[in-house]
């Protein structure tokens, strides 16, 4: 039928365009400071996600003449829709960018796995659905389990035991010991231990970072790395190492640890290269895979054949030969995607992964609780470094380590772990939201009491009783600040009450305005830390266009009344 020819030919361009638009929306979401304005972005993302998913399965059905794929598609569509909807209603203040990206990556996974091996796609779908159900409750637990930060030794003990058991009992899969089977289900503990590991470092370093703290956490981290090297799972070993170094650097703010860590890592890598033949083989196969094309270089060269064969728009689904790449569903899913969807699509995929990372980092930046901050950052690095290892390894950018592309590659433990990571970060995002709301209310009252003049003068509350700093910021810009601070008797002083200063100070201190503002160097007349806690709410009202000409003056009583309503 000639209709199929047209569909498979044009769908390539449609899918590439959809992906480009999706990525553009991913990054424009960062431009908006408040969730209200980002709603349009999220809605567009959902439509584009649907467009990608639908058109891909259309092509699959036309190419295979299998109607059963349509049913499978319907199930996926329902699962993803329900996931998005439930998250929205369970957690109205969740970060929807992260949820959307998670669903996009999963739908890419379903599409490419259906094309590569249907039975694996079904398994993947089942595991992903289960993970999403579990993930739905994770933010709730994260928010309410205050004990999480106290379980340092539990994380370390369970983590080391889990991967240690693999070392002793595990099955050898293609040269590396990575899994064992429980009740018929193959389980890769190293994947799951990544979560425990991040919680361990965060709980070990959030309170204090004395030399002893660093040393003990370092020994435990090294133990993780060494066990994984012994299991010949170089990918996880590297991830543990890099995550530890990065979190340590953030916790201590001491670049010496970063330099020392990198130096010891380089030394260890050199020793590993000399001592272990399996490390050496991989490095040599990276340097020149073509000379060992029928042995150590076979995987990587087959992967390169896949990546290069697609061109900009890909060969189209079922038009390439991605199954000629060994372990394509696990380690080389990126090559399969490049081959049939093209390089433009692949670059978009990388940009989506990077977008998740940046979103995580932004959450970490705004968290004030150090345990959550370090954990969120640790998960961000775990995620992006794994993406780097698998895509870089499959494209010969770096030596091959054989890790999965989170959410996209086939692998039950990997999908579950990644969904957990994403939802844990969601939970932390909401902690930040709520704690700041709470502090905000307290800060307001305290300031009201400390500062009667503000209530008498132009108020900081708009007519709905909402706290508003924009007025102050605007006027402040028109005056010479130093003049004001040196001449407290200046006539217009009431416009410059201390809140103005706090507002500006707060904004820069908390990393708003993309953390580029710097402090002016003068000290605060009242407790600066109180103001540090000011909420994002301010931000939202700052960005809303409030008509200041209709400003209503409130008395303290009126304000209280409004609040009670």
Partner 1 sequence: MKKIKENNPKKSNIPILIIMWFFILLFGGMIYYIVDYSINNKQELIGNSYNGRAKILAAQNLRGTIYSKDGDVLVSSSLNQDGKEVRHYEYGPMFSHVIGYATNGRMGIEDQANYYLINSNAPVSTKAKMDAQGLKYPGDSVYSTLDLNLQKAAYDAMGLYKGAIVVSEPSTGKILALVSKPDFDPAEVMYKWNDLINDSKSSVLLNRVTQGKYPPGSTFKIITALEYIKEHPDDYYKYHYNCTGSITRGEDTIRCYHGMVHGSLDFKKAFAKSCNSAFADIGLSVNRNEFGYTLNTLLFNNVLPTSLQTSSSKLIVTDSTLDTDMIQIVIGQGLSNITPLQLNMITSAIANDGILMQPYVIDRVENSAGTVIKQFKPEEYGRLMEENEAQIMRDLMVNVVNEGTATKLKGTSYYSGGKTGSAEFGVSKSGESHAWFTAFAGSENDEDELPDICLTIIIEEAGSGGDYAVPIAKRIFDAYYQNK
Give the interface with partner 1 as residue ranges (CB under 8 A): 1-6, 9-10, 206-207, 246, 249-250, 253, 293-294, 298, 301-302, 304-305, 307-312, 320-321, 324, 338, 343, 346-347, 350-351, 354, 357-358, 361, 364-365, 368-370, 373, 377, 381, 384-385, 388, 391-392, 395-397, 508-511, 515, 519, 529, 532-533
User: What minimum distance in Å lies between the beta carbon of 90 and partner 1?
Assistant: 28
Question: Quick one: 47 or 347, whose CB is closer to partner 1?
Answer: 347
User: What minimum distance in Å lies between the beta carbon of 393 and partner 1?
Assistant: 11
For residue 461, the SS3 value is strand
Biggest CA pair distance of the chain: 86
Question: Quick one: 83 or 239, whose CB is closer to partner 1?
Answer: 239
User: What minimum distance in Å lies between the beta carbon of 379 and partner 1?
Assistant: 13
Structure tokens at 330: 């696990």
- Cα-based angle 349, 351, 352 (whole degrees, multiple of 5): 65
On whether the CB atoms of residues 216 and 384 are closer than 8 A, the answer is no
Q: How far is residue 435 CA from its own chain's centroid?
A: 21
User: What minimum distance in Å lies between the beta carbon of 350 and partner 1?
Assistant: 6
Structure tokens at 206: 């959030």
Question: Quick one: 395 or 417, whose CB is closer to partner 1?
Answer: 395
Question: Pick from 45, 146, 37, 136: which is nearest to 82 by CA?
Answer: 136
3-state secondary structure string across 148-207: HHHCHHHHHHHHHHHHHHHHHHCEEECCEEEEEEECCEEECHHHHHHHHHHHHHHHHHCC
Question: Quick one: 53 or 366, whose CB is closer to partner 1?
Answer: 366
User: What minimum distance in Å lies between the beta carbon of 548 and partner 1?
Assistant: 29
Question: Quick one: 5 or 452, whose CB is closer to partner 1?
Answer: 5
Question: Quick one: 253 or 565, whose CB is closer to partner 1?
Answer: 253
Locus of tokens 């996209």 = 408
User: What minimum distance in Å lies between the beta carbon of 249 and partner 1?
Assistant: 5
Q: How far is residue 465 CA from its own chain's centroid?
A: 35
Q: Under 8 Å CB-to-CB from 294, ≥6 apart: which residues?
A: none
Question: Quick one: 195 or 337, whose CB is closer to partner 1?
Answer: 337
User: What minimum distance in Å lies between the beta carbon of 116 and partner 1?
Assistant: 16
User: What minimum distance in Å lies between the beta carbon of 309 and partner 1?
Assistant: 5
Which ranges of 451-469 would DSSP assign to H, the alpha helix?
Answer: 452-456
Q: Under 8 Å CB-to-CB from 220, ≥6 apart: which residues?
A: 156, 160, 200, 204
Question: Quick one: 462 or 538, whose CB is closer to partner 1?
Answer: 538
């Amino acid at each position: 039928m000639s209709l199929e020819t047209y569909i498979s030919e044009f769908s390539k361009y449609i899918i590439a365009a959809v992906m480009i638009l999706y990525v553009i929306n991913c990054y424009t979401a960062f431009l908006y400071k408040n969730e209200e304005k980002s709603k349009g972005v999220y809605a567009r993302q959902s439509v584009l996600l649907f467009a990608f998913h639908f058109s891909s399965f259309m092509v699959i059905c036309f190419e295979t003449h299998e109607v059963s794929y349509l049913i499978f598609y319907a199930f996926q569509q329902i699962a993803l829709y329900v996931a998005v909807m439930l998250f929205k209603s369970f957690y109205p203040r969740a970060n929807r960018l992260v949820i959307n990206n998670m669903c996009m990556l999963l739908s890419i996974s379903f599409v490419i796995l259906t094309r590569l091996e249907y039975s694996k796609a079904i398994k993947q779908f089942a595991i992903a659905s289960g993970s999403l159900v579990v993930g739905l409750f994770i933010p709730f637990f994260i928010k309410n389990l205050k004990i999480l930060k106290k379980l340092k030794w539990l994380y370390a003990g369970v983590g080391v035991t889990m991967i240690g058991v693999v070392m002793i009992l595990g099955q050898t899969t293609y040269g590396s010991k990575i899994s064992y089977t429980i009740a018929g289900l193959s389980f890769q503990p190293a994947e799951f231990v990544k979560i425990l590991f991040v919680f361990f470092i965060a709980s070990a370093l959030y309170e204090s970072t004395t030399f002893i703290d660093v040393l003990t956490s370092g020994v435990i981290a090294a133990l993780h790395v060494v066990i994984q090297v012994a299991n010949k799972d170089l990918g996880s070993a590297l991830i543990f190492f890099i995550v530890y170094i990065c979190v340590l650097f953030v916790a201590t703010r001491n670049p010496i640890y970063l330099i020392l860590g990198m130096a010891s890592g380089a030394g260890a890598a050199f020793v590993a290269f000399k001592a272990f033949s399996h490390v050496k083989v991989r490095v040599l196969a990276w340097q020149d895979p073509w000379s060992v094309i029928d042995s150590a270089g076979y995987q990587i060269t087959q992967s390169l054949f896949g990546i290069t064969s697609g061109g900009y728009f890909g060969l189209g689904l079922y038009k390439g030969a991605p199954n000629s790449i060994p372990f394509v569903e696990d380690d080389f899913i990126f090559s399969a995607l490049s081959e049939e969807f093209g390089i433009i699509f692949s670059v978009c995929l990388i940009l989506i992964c990077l977008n998740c990372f940046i979103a995580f980092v932004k959450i970490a930046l705004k968290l004030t609780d150090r345990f959550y901050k370090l954990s969120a950052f640790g998960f961000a690095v775990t995620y992006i470094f794994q993406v780097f290892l698998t895509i870089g390894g499959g494209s010969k950018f770096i030596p091959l380590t054989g890790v999965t592309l989170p959410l996209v590659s086939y692998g039950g433990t990997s999908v579950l772990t990644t969904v957990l990571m994403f939802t844990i970060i969601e939970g932390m995002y909401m902690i930040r939201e709520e704690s700041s709301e709470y502090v905000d209310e307290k800060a307001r009252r305290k300031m009201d009491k400390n500062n009667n003049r503000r209530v008498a003068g132009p108020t900081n509350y708009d007519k709905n009783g909402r706290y508003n700093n924009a007025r102050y910021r605007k006027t402040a810009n028109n005056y010479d600040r130093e003049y004001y601070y040196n001449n407290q008797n200046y006539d217009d002083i009431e416009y410059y009450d201390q809140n103005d200063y706090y507002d500006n100070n707060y904004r820069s201190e908390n990393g708003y305005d993309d953390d580029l503002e710097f402090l002016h160097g003068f000290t605060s007349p009242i407790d600066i830390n109180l103001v540090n806690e000011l909420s994002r709410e301010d931000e939202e009202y700052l960005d809303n266009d409030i008509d200041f000409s209709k400003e209503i003056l409130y008395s303290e009583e009126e304000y209280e009344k409004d609040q009670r309503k």
